[in-house]
């Protein structure tokens, strides 16, 4: 919802100015079909961060940035201004009531794997042992389109 590209760019700028976080890579933007109820297409991308914080505080930071940009959680997978997910954290496997790393649906979502493969093709998924560039070959990428003017 809203000017997705401007919101995404501003959210990434906010994240990169957060103490303890350094942005090291950013993918192109991709236009994709939404998952869930009927709604407009989404813009998706991935970033790589170096951080001096643990995953739970990073998740809390991501949620605060979502709120800053108008995210309201009303309906699962419903329309939203911004959705920031923590996908991977080195080779960590973590499962708590509030956070699961790697992201539990990452391996089945082309809108995640395509931009991730652009910036981290050889990153190993610690659950499967597969590299991202191989995982992306296992999903249907027909609804993921590079946004022109990246």
Task: List residues with catalytic annotation.
Answer: 71, 80, 83, 85
The secondary structure of residue 53, as a DSSP letter, is S
CA atoms within 13 Å, Cβ hemisphere of 27 = 23
Structure tokens at 131: 């590299």
Residues 6+ apart with CB under 8 A from 57: none
Three-class secondary structure assignment of 86-149: CCCCCCCCEECCCCEECCCCHHHCHHHHHHHHHHCCCCECCCCCCEHHHHHHHCCCCCEEECCC
Pick the closest to residue 55 from 17, 93, 105 (CA basis): 93
């Amino acid at each position: 919802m809203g000017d997705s590209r401007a919101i995404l760019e501003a959210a990434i700028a906010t994240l990169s100015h957060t103490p303890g976080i350094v942005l090291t890579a950013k993918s192109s933007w991709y236009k994709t079909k939404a998952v869930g109820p009927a709604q407009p297409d989404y813009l998706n991308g991935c970033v790589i961060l170096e951080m001096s914080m643990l995953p739970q505080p990073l998740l809390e930071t991501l949620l605060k940035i979502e709120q800053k940009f108008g995210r309201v959680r009303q309906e699962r997978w419903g329309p939203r201004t911004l959705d920031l997910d923590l996908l991977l954290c080195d080779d960590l496997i973590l499962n708590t009531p509030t956070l699961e790393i790697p992201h539990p649906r990452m391996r089945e979502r082309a809108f995640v794997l395509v931009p991730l493969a652009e910036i981290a093709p050889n990153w190993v998924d610690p659950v499967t042992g597969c590299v991202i560039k191989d995982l992306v070959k296992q999903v249907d990428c027909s609804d993921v389109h590079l946004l022109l003017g990246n």
